[in-house]
Amino acid sequence: MKLHIHLDFNSTTPVDLRVLEAMLPYSNPQFEIEGSSTHLLESKSLEVVEKARHQVASLIGSRDEEIIFTSSATEAINLVMNSVYERYAYRGNHIITVKTEHKAVLEACNNLIRKGAEISYLNVNAEGLIDLNELQNLFTEKTILTAVMFANNETGVLQPLKKISEIVHANNSILFSDATQAAGKIDFDVAEFGIDLLCVTGHKFCGPKGIGALYVGRKNTDVVLREHINIASKETNFRLHTLKISEIVGLGLACQLAQKEMWDNNSHISALRANLEHQLLDFSGLRINGSTKNRLYNTSNICFHGKKSVELFNVLRKFGVSFGSSSNSLAVQPSHVLKSMGMSDEDAFSSVRFSLGKFNTQEQILEVINSIRQNIYA
C-alpha cells in the first residue's frame, strides 16, 4: 500500500508509534473506572501525570510546578488572555499583540475588545518580523499584557523573543508567547528567554491531539491566573476522571522524544527542506515568503508568482500542503499573515506552505518536485 504524503506538519502531525504504545494502557476505560475507586490506581495515575509534567517542563526549561495541562493551545490562549485581563483590570486594559498571530490569539483579542479592552496590533515587515522600536513606543501605563508568538505557523518566522522580553519587562508588562509551532522543534528555555506565560500543544510534535500545556512562570512575575487557581486545585485534589491520563502520558513522552531527538530531527528535516527549496527555486518566479534567516527549519512558504491558486490547489492538495488563503463562512480570503507582510492578494493566493516533519523522506520531496515540474511548469 502506498502511503499518503503529508507535507503539512504545522497543521498537525501523525502520532509517534512509541507515544501511542505508551498511551495504550491508560486508554482502557476499565482503567479509569477502576482507578477512580482504588487508591492504588489513583496513586499510579498521579505518578504518571507528575512524570509527564516533568517531561513537559524539561522541554521548555521550566519547573514542574509551573506546568498546567490544558486540552489545547487554544484553551491555554483563552485562559491566559481572559484571566490576565480580569486579574489586572485594576492596572489597565491595554494589550499589545501582532497582526500575524494565529487566529486563536486574534479571536481572543476580539472577545476582549467586546469587554472593553484596547488592543494594539504590531506591524511586521516584508520578512514577517516586528519592529522593536514600534513595540517600545506602544506601551502605556495601562499595558498589562504583550502577546507575541514564538514561531509563525504559516511562514515559520521566529520573532526575537529575548529582546522582546527585555522591552516588555522594562515596561512593567507581562509577556505571553504562543509557542505552539516552536515547542518540540527548536531548543529554548523559558527562563533564559524571560517568558512569563507560554503554551504548547501535543499534536504539533507527534503527540496526541486534545492535550496541551500552559507554562505559568512564578520566578520573576506575580502572575496568578484567576482560572488557573481552579485548574491547579483540580489537579492537586487529583481526581482520576477529571484528567485525561492517556493524553497526558502521550504529551509527556512526545516532549521527551522531541527533546532527545531534536538535533537528529533538525538535521534530517533541514536537509529535506534545503532540497525542496533548492529545486523549487529553479522554477522561474518563485520566492520564499518571510525571513530566511529567522525561520523554523521545517517550514517553507513559497509564492508561485503568476500561478493561479486553483491550479496550485489541484496539483498540490494530494500532498497535504496548505494554501495562502483561509476561509470563513462568507468567503475565501487571502492569508492575513501574508497580507500583513505587504503581499498582494494575488501573490498570497499563489502561495503554498510546505511544512515538513520527521517522517518525510527525500523520495517524497522528489515526487512533489516532479509533480510541480510536470503539471505546473511543463
| Contact positions vs ligand PLP (CB under 6 A) | 72-74, 102, 104, 149, 153, 178, 180-181, 201, 212
* Nearest approach, Cβ of residue 156 and ligand PLP (Å): 11
Using DSSP, state whether 84 is helix, strand or coil. Answer: helix
* Nearest approach, Cβ of residue 64 and ligand PLP (Å): 21
| CB closer to ligand PLP out of 19 and 104 | 104
| CB closer to ligand PLP out of 45 and 300 | 300
| CB closer to ligand PLP out of 74 and 246 | 74
Using DSSP, state whether 23 is helix, strand or coil. Answer: helix
Contact partners, residue 173, CB within 8 Å, separation at least 6: 96, 139, 143, 144, 145, 146
* Nearest approach, Cβ of residue 2 and ligand PLP (Å): 27
Query: CA separation (Å) from 95 to 161, 197, 215, 218?
Result: 17, 14, 19, 21
268 φ, ψ (degrees, to nearest 5) = -65, -50
Distance, in Å, from the CA atom of 54 to the CA atom of 31, rounded to the nearest integer, reads 23
C-alpha dihedral over 369, 375, 376, 378, to 10 degrees? 100
Task: State the angle between helix axes of 245-260 and 17-27 in degrees (0 to 180), rounded to the nearest 10.
Answer: 160
Query: In DSSP terms, which residues pair with 118 in a beta bridge?
Result: 94
* Nearest approach, Cβ of residue 47 and ligand PLP (Å): 26
| CB closer to ligand PLP out of 92 and 320 | 320
* Nearest approach, Cβ of residue 149 and ligand PLP (Å): 6
| CB closer to ligand PLP out of 45 and 78 | 78
